[in-house]
Amino acid sequence: MATTEQPPASPSEASRPSAADLAVAIVDEVERAVVGKRDVIDLVLASMLAGGHVLLEDVPGVAKTLLARSLATACGLEFSRVQFTPDLLPSDITGTLVLDLATRTPEFRPGPVFCDVLLADEINRAPAKTQAALLEAMQEGQVTVDGRARAVGRPFAVIATQNPIEAEGTYPLPEAQLDRFLVRVGIGYPSHADELAILEDRLTRRSVDVTISPIVDTPTFVAMQRAAEDVHVDPPLVEYALDLVTATRSEPDITLGASPRGSLALVTLARAWALVRGRDYVGPDDIRTLAIPTLSHRVTLDDEAWVRGTQADDVVRRVIDRVAAPTWS
């Protein structure tokens, strides 16, 4: 039987960087601004490649806004920022109808949500009604204004920030909205060496801003998102992820465990994480690494655990230690 040989790849195709190579280049570029936080950059980029939203929860001054802006720029995505305040209205986010004086007809003026990456800065400073304006966009990729649904476009990611230690004048995010975030991430203080490098770079640069260059454009980023869907996940690892999520529903310190959305989030994020780490397959360590940022904000602690000062991260870590990971002989 005759066989047909495939033509060799053209030089341009052979030299074209893979999605994993592009992800590394994006992280390298962002790390010029956000020094010493490569794991965090990897995680936020993986979340964006997985089509998810990110909640950055940390104290002021650790580069939450800088991380969001730098990633959007390096990925070639349109960036918008909304400062959430107690007087912010839902229409300030979604847009509103205004009267066109020339035609005497109402015209829709889109809000900042119509972008690729929306930074919701200090999201917990706005009341629930305004926070809820993002729910439809985050889950369904659209907003409804004056009874008409309008798509926000693709790609679309919300990166929200909040300060976990300051409760005065804040409105805690409801569980339904927390569940819409693919991950909750803390950045943390830089090490002594990294902070010294930041100071020295600032003196050498003679400028406040670090110039970030686009590594890819929007169509290429969308192609990277599609490439993440091709990352292989063995069936035992899918079951392992489900076992972790199921175990949160029977943990004594938890009154409400993670929902099926948590299972989907863990598996979906693991594929994008493997891509960012340069692999076309998911391993058990990927599931273990991602379980806390993916599941801890999806569980509700009981009152006794809360009084004892138990953290959701600690409870999910106990679940990880208790549930056996699959092995291959």
**Mean pLDDT value across residues 30-41:** 94
Residues 98 and 195 in one domain: yes
Whether 62 and 168 have beta carbons less than 8 Å apart is answered as: no
**Mean pLDDT value across residues 3-21:** 62
Cα gap 141→149, rounded to integer Å? 10
Whether 119 and 162 have beta carbons less than 8 Å apart is answered as: no
Residue 329 lies in a domain: no
Strands 105-110 and 95-100, how do they pair?
Answer: antiparallel
Report the sign of the C-alpha dihedral through residues 127, 120, 33, 31, in that order: positive
Q: What is the model's pLDDT at position 329?
A: 52
Whether 73 and 202 have beta carbons less than 8 Å apart is answered as: no
Report the amino acid identity of residue 159.
Answer: I
Residues 182 and 144 in one domain: yes
**pLDDT tens column, 237-287:** 999 999 999 999 998 888 989 999 999 999 999 999 999 999 999 999 999
Residues 188 and 241 in one domain: no
pTM of the model: 0.90
Q: Which residues pair with 107 in a beta bridge?
A: 98
Q: What is the model's pLDDT at position 328?
A: 67
- Find the CATH number of the domain harbouring 257: 1.10.8.80
Q: What is the model's pLDDT at position 8?
A: 53
Q: What is the mean pLDDT of the chain?
A: 89
Residue 1 lies in a domain: no
Higher-confidence residue of 108 and 231: namely 231
Cα gap 231→272, rounded to integer Å? 8
Q: Which domain holds residue 266?
A: 230-324
Q: What percent of the chain has pLDDT over 90?
A: 59
Residue 29 lies in a domain: yes
Residue 160 lies in a domain: yes
Where would I find the H helices in the chain? Answer: 11-14, 19-31, 38-49, 64-74, 91-94, 128-131, 135-140, 175-178, 192-205, 218-228, 235-248, 260-276, 284-295, 303-307, 312-322
Q: Where residue 3 falls among pLDDT bands split at 50, 70, 90?
A: very low
Residue 7 lies in a domain: no
- Which residue among 223, 256, 280 closes a domain? 223
Q: What percent of the chain has pLDDT over 70?
A: 94
Q: What is the model's pLDDT at position 269?
A: 97
Per-residue pLDDT at 2 exceeds 50: no
